[in-house]
Amino acid sequence: MKFTAQQIAGLVNGIIEGNPETEVSSLSKIEQGEAGSLSFLGNPKYTHYIYNTKASVVIVNKDFKPEHPIVPTLIRVDNAYTAFATLLDHYSKLVSGKKGISVHAAIDESARLGEECYIGDFVSIGENVKIGDRVKIYPGSVLGDNVTVGNDTIIYAGVKIYAFCEVGESCTIHAGVVIGADGFGFAPQNDQHYEKVAQIGNVIIKNNVEIGANTTIDRATLGSTIIHQGVKLDNLIQIAHNVEIGENTVIAAQSGIAGSTRLGKNCMIGGQVGLTGHLIIGNNVKIAAQSGISTNVADDAIIMGSPAFDISLYRKTYVHFRNLSKIVERINVLEKTIKK
């Protein structure tokens, strides 16, 4: 499928510099650009590639000022990275425009499917499930009884969504995700064994949420585990029962959040961060990778370490951590001198 520079500029509200009829049929990195491909320049570190790239069309920021002649047709936009992301989204929708219901899918007669859906091989859809329009469910996924899925959501292969859970519109759930498994609830007994506490809540995922591969989100003991609108979860994340994650918060891979902890809006959580249970994390909080959080965190805080504290203080303190053996030696020498 081919597109002209003019058509692309219309999609990203860009200004053309060069031949508007230049055609492209593929996407490429600027350093690997080939004739007939579209690329972008978003990071100044890659500027030198634009002077020798073979890409036919390159998206650049409006304030880009070339220092040497440029062969490709340019499309100037407010933000090259955002514009290219928009095009990637359009491209993804074009190449994944599957429709139809596989004869190998098992769909309960009480389930309601919207228009233009795709249901792949060996998908299992339980009783009273409600699926919106243009939803895509890839092979091997399982939707339990009374699950609801909103319009334009994509559920990739092997996803398991337990009974009574709710998924909003325009969500993307990657392969191997498990939504609604039991929370980790066990009551210790006098004879040292543990009695399982029934987990009768659900998981509610709002609109425009993306969940990475093999991430797990546990159902609430009572009430709901809630992932609010715009949240982005990386691969291999564990979200425990009754956790609530605020709008537009992003969490990197291998992080874990214990039960009943609440995260605010617009937080950024690095990889391998661990949060203990029953915490309140404020809005706009940033937590560095591999941090351990065991106390509440105020709005706008930037923290690091385990246990975590203010990142600027951590960095100052870390200088002393690295020199601790030398400091101990100096103290030992001073003590010996004082005794003499």
Q: Could you tell me the residue range of the domain that residue 253 belongs to?
A: 101-314
Range 168-182 average pLDDT: 98
**What is d(CA 203, CA 176) in angstroms, rounded to the nearest whole number?**
17
Q: Is 241 assigned a catalytic role?
A: yes
Q: Which one of 29, 61, 95 terminates a domain?
A: 95
26: Cβ contacts below 8 Å, ≥ 6 apart: 34, 36, 37, 38
SS3 state of residue 181: strand
Handedness of CA 302, 303, 309, 310 (dihedral sign): negative
What is the pLDDT, as a whole number, of residue 91? 81
Q: How many domains does the chain have?
A: 2
Same-domain pairing of 189 and 287: yes
CATH number at residue 14: 3.40.1390.10
Same-domain pairing of 112 and 209: yes
Same-domain pairing of 157 and 300: yes
Residues in the chain: 340
Please report whether residue 44 resides in a domain.
yes
Q: Is residue 95 over pLDDT 80?
A: no
In single-letter form, the type of residue at position 224 comes to: S
pLDDT class of 97 with cuts at 50, 70, 90: confident
**What is d(CA 117, CA 99) in angstroms, rounded to the nearest whole number?**
5
Same-domain pairing of 67 and 111: no
List the structure tokens of 227: 């992932």
Please report whether residue 122 resides in a domain.
yes
Same-domain pairing of 77 and 122: no
DSSP readout, 90-104?
A: HHHHHHT---EE-TT
141: Cβ contacts below 8 Å, ≥ 6 apart: 120, 123, 124, 155, 156, 157, 158, 159, 160, 161
Averaged pLDDT score across all residues of the chain = 95
327: Cβ contacts below 8 Å, ≥ 6 apart: 320
Same-domain pairing of 220 and 176: yes
Q: Is residue 94 over pLDDT 80?
A: no
Q: Is residue 178 over pLDDT 90?
A: yes
Q: Is residue 320 over pLDDT 80?
A: no
Range 192-199 average pLDDT: 94
Range 299-323 average pLDDT: 86
**Alpha helices per DSSP H over 144-214:** none
User: Of these residues, 104, 174, 241, 320, which one is catalytic?
Assistant: 241
Separation of CA 314 from chain center: 27
Same-domain pairing of 23 and 166: no
**What is d(CA 269, CA 150) in angstroms, rounded to the nearest whole number?**
27
Q: Which one of 95, 122, 139 terminates a domain?
A: 95
Q: Are 265 and 247 in contact (CB under 8 A)?
A: yes
What is the pLDDT, as a whole number, of residue 182? 97
What is the pLDDT, as a whole number, of residue 259? 96
Please report whether residue 339 resides in a domain.
no
Q: Which helix (H) or strand (E) holds 327?
A: helix 324-339
CATH number at residue 288: 2.160.10.10
Same-domain pairing of 44 and 152: no
Please report whether residue 60 resides in a domain.
yes
For the entire predicted model, the pTM comes to: 0.82
SS3 state of residue 39: strand
What is the pLDDT, as a whole number, of residue 90? 82
Q: Could you read off the pLDDT of 256-310 as tens digits, one per residue?
A: 999 999 999 999 999 999 999 999 999 999 999 999 999 999 999 999 998 888 8
27: Cβ contacts below 8 Å, ≥ 6 apart: 37, 38, 39, 87, 88, 91
Range 201-227 average pLDDT: 98
